[in-house]
Chain A
Amino acid sequence: MAEPLISLKGVTKRYGEGTAAFQALKGVDLDIMAGDFVAVMGPSGSGKSTTMNILGCLDVPTTGSFLFKGVHVEGLDRDQRSLLRRRYLGFVFQGFNLLARTTALENVELPLIYRGEARKKRHDMAMAALDKVGLVDWSHHTPSELSGGQQQRVAIARAIVAHPDVLLADEPTGNLDSQRSIEIMELLTGLNQTSGITVLMVTHEADMAKFARTIIHFKDGLVERTETGHRPGLELA
């Protein structure tokens, strides 16, 4: 069996200090293979977002090891983690987190600016990403001029514009109605299948989790169980 792309071993996360301290993760072990489409489920407060933030290098574990492509992420400093995000990771948030008063195109170009791409290449790559999410005609609109579903698609375009290895999405459909949600899920499935991007997604809804190949269930800061092969048609890319 191939080496997993991502591997957590005994990861704990404690928020706060002293009596106010809260143990959000109590020793999470999980492996994610390259090309998988993973849904993370579980009750509120079970540590799903905490885990996603650690996997996305937006936060660090209190103890335990986090291997990404064989590199110990817990040993990296802030800037090295930034560079890791820049090169390999794309993040989609429940609340979209687009820059206000900034056009869809400029939002999508942002990761490319930090990668030092030339203006022309930036524009072409951003337009290609917007094309993938079906928003080419909306490239000059600012977030306030876009619907929630459109904003989330811009956020996905921004997350994939630099061809990341992994796309992390924390409740990407949490703010959307079911029709919009299904469109987003189809988009993610397509990216997973055609571009070979590993997708990690947190969701509360079983309907959304059905799109995934692997489902990881969280409970009380621990992985409760893992289901694989939910959709027979969905092969490991």
Chain B
Amino acid sequence: MLWTTMTLALREIRRHVLRSVLTVLGIVIGVAAVVTMVTLGHATSRSVQSQISGLGSNLLTILPGQGIGRGGGGVQPPPFKIEDVDAIRGQIGGATAVAPEVQATATAIRNAANWSVSINGTTDDYLAGQQWSLVSGRTFTPAEEQAGKSVCIVGNTIKTNLYPDDDPVGTTLRIGNVSCEVIGLLKLRGQSGLGGDQDNTVIMPYKTVQRRFTGNRNVQFIMVAVDPRYESAPIQNSIGRLLRERRNITASKADDFSILDTKQISDALGSATTQLTAVVTAVAAISLLVGGIGIMNIMLVSVTERTREIGIRLAIGAVAGEVLLQFLVEAVALAALGGLIGLVLAFIACFGLAIPLKLPFMWEPQINLIAFGISALIGVVFGYFPARRAASLNPIDALRHE
């Protein structure tokens, strides 16, 4: 009986191609839309999260002036000096590393190739604070830092562009007018959410950069790595008090420097991605609902149209249960077919969009299962329950149905 009913159901599907295609289409669109949106949403938040973790945690960056991009007309606030760095290191507790950042840009030249790089003059503490390790070579010796030797540690992008086939460590690299011995190669950081490619950096002792590149004793930024066991806010306060004192700011005046906390930035970005995920999930739920209503419509229309068919089947001696089983098999077959096509389309869409959107490719079994399950359920419920109503009519009423 079951077998006969299944052949009956499949025959009906084949006989009503348009109706079947429309039903399947509703499910295909519902499943494909939901799975694609949720997967891309998750991929986006994962990519944002990995960029955030690329910032390092619990790092303070101190810069002259108030905020980024402001300033303009007024008096330029005085730059920091290395004494400020030493004062912070000496007087502030709870910092694991304090390092100056003296920044410059220059062109690195090797053989015939040249490549524009950013230079960061600092100390070994910088790498410790950033938790940035080396692939090969070594960091600066205290003597090199003290003397301002022409030594450098290069980032991965420089290795890729200037040393495609060999190890930079031990070679001499010309950066601007300076011949520089490469003593280390930094580990790949990957792209960072803020401030471009971190891997296109050459790190040198700060004295070298001051002497050979910037030509003054200024320090652009001070990096402070906060011990994770300490609260960041009180440390920021004490640094603020210390710097106000050192910069002779009277009580009535505002700070002429700012302290940025990467933890604050990453928290803000983190809550933004949580919101993004929530929005995407909501949109997905709506599209599932819309898809569901589409399926429901076509099913309701077809059942109205099929009430006469149900009447005929009952009149020639079918038992209500047999008619219902046939409708159920039809609904399950269509829903399963539509669901599978939808999942395949979603897979293709996620795969195809990952590269242009610069997102990681993901396939999440959970959302695939949920979308498939819900669409199939909608298809089955809306195929089955109206049919049950029709099958409960007197055959003669079902036949009279217009």
Per the 8 Å Cβ criterion, residues 306-328 of B in contact with A are 308-309, 311-322
A83 and B317 within 8 A (CB): yes
B321 and A114 within 8 A (CB): no
B4 at interface, CB cutoff 8 A = yes
A111 and B316 within 8 A (CB): yes
Measured CA separation A206–B93 after assembly (Å): 116
Q: Which residues of A contact B11 (CB under 8 A)?
A: 106
Query: Contacting B312 at CB < 8 Å: which of A97, A116, A162?
Result: A97
Query: Contacting B320 at CB < 8 Å: which of A78, A99, A115?
Result: A78
Stretch at the interface among B105-113, B118-126, B233-241, B392-400: B392-400
Q: A93-B399, A97-B308 are in contact. Are A79 and B319 (CB under 8 A)?
A: yes
B15 at interface, CB cutoff 8 A = yes
Q: Which residues of A contact B315 (CB under 8 A)?
A: 56, 58, 85, 91, 97
Report B152-175 CB contacts with A as 1/0, cut-off 8 Å: 000000000000000000000000
Q: Which residues of B contact A82 (CB under 8 A)?
A: 314, 317-320
Residue of A nearest to B392 (CB): A78
Report A81-109 CB contacts with B as 1/0, cut-off 8 Å: 01101110101010001110110001000
A60 at interface, CB cutoff 8 A = yes
Q: Which residues of B contact A111 (CB under 8 A)?
A: 316-317
B8 at interface, CB cutoff 8 A = yes
Q: Which residues of A contact B320 (CB under 8 A)?
A: 78-79, 82
Measured CA separation A158–B395 after assembly (Å): 17
A165 at interface, CB cutoff 8 A = no
Q: Which residues of B contact A93 (CB under 8 A)?
A: 399
Measured CA separation A83–B316 after assembly (Å): 9
Taking the closest CB of chain B, its distance from the CB of A150, in whole angstroms, is: 18
A113 at interface, CB cutoff 8 A = yes
B313 and A58 within 8 A (CB): no
Q: Which residues of A contact B311 (CB under 8 A)?
A: 97
Taking the closest CB of chain B, its distance from the CB of A52, in whole angstroms, is: 10
Residue of B nearest to A95 (CB): B399
Q: Which residues of B contact A83 (CB under 8 A)?
A: 317, 319
A158 and B396 within 8 A (CB): no
A116 and B4 within 8 A (CB): yes
B16 at interface, CB cutoff 8 A = yes
Q: Which residues of B contact A79 (CB under 8 A)?
A: 319-321
Taking the closest CB of chain A, its distance from the CB of B308, in whole angstroms, is: 7
Report A55-80 CB contacts with B as 1/0, cut-off 8 Å: 01011100000000000000000110
Taking the closest CB of chain A, its distance from the CB of B259, in whole angstroms, is: 77
Taking the closest CB of chain B, its distance from the CB of A152, in whole angstroms, is: 15
A193 at interface, CB cutoff 8 A = no
B316 and A158 within 8 A (CB): yes
Q: Which residues of B contact A56 (CB under 8 A)?
A: 315
B1 at interface, CB cutoff 8 A = yes
A86 and B317 within 8 A (CB): yes
Q: A110-B313, A113-B8 are in contact. Are A58 and B394 (CB under 8 A)?
A: yes
Q: Which residues of A contact B4 (CB under 8 A)?
A: 113, 116
Task: Name the residue among B15, B16, B312, B399 with the largest chain A CB count within 10 angstroms.
Answer: B312
Q: Which residues of B contact A59 (CB under 8 A)?
A: 394-396
Residue of A nearest to B395 (CB): A58
Task: Name the residue among B1, B308, B319 with the largest chain A CB count within 10 angstroms.
Answer: B319
B316 and A110 within 8 A (CB): yes
Q: Which residues of B contact A85 (CB under 8 A)?
A: 315-317
B16 and A101 within 8 A (CB): yes
Q: A82-B314, A102-B15, A113-B8 are in contact. Are A97 and B319 (CB under 8 A)?
A: no
Measured CA separation A97–B398 after assembly (Å): 12
A99 and B317 within 8 A (CB): no
Q: Which residues of A contact B16 (CB under 8 A)?
A: 101
Measured CA separation A58–B15 after assembly (Å): 27
A53 at interface, CB cutoff 8 A = yes
Measured CA separation A89–B395 after assembly (Å): 14
Measured CA separation A158–B312 after assembly (Å): 11
Report B73-96 CB contacts with A as 1/0, cut-off 8 Å: 000000000000000000000000
Measured CA separation A115–B322 after assembly (Å): 11
Per the 8 Å Cβ criterion, residues 1-34 of B in contact with A are 1, 4, 8, 11, 15-16
Q: Which residues of A contact B321 (CB under 8 A)?
A: 79
Other CB < 8 Å A-B pairs besides A56-B315, A114-B319, 13 of them?
A58-B394, A58-B395, A60-B394, A82-B314, A82-B320, A85-B315, A89-B317, A91-B315, A97-B311, A98-B312, A110-B316, A111-B317, A114-B322
CB<8 Å pairs between A and B, sample of 7: A79-B321, A85-B317, A91-B315, A97-B315, A99-B312, A114-B313, A114-B318
A-B pairs, top 4 by smallest CB distance, nearest first, are: A86-B317, A58-B396, A85-B317, A111-B316
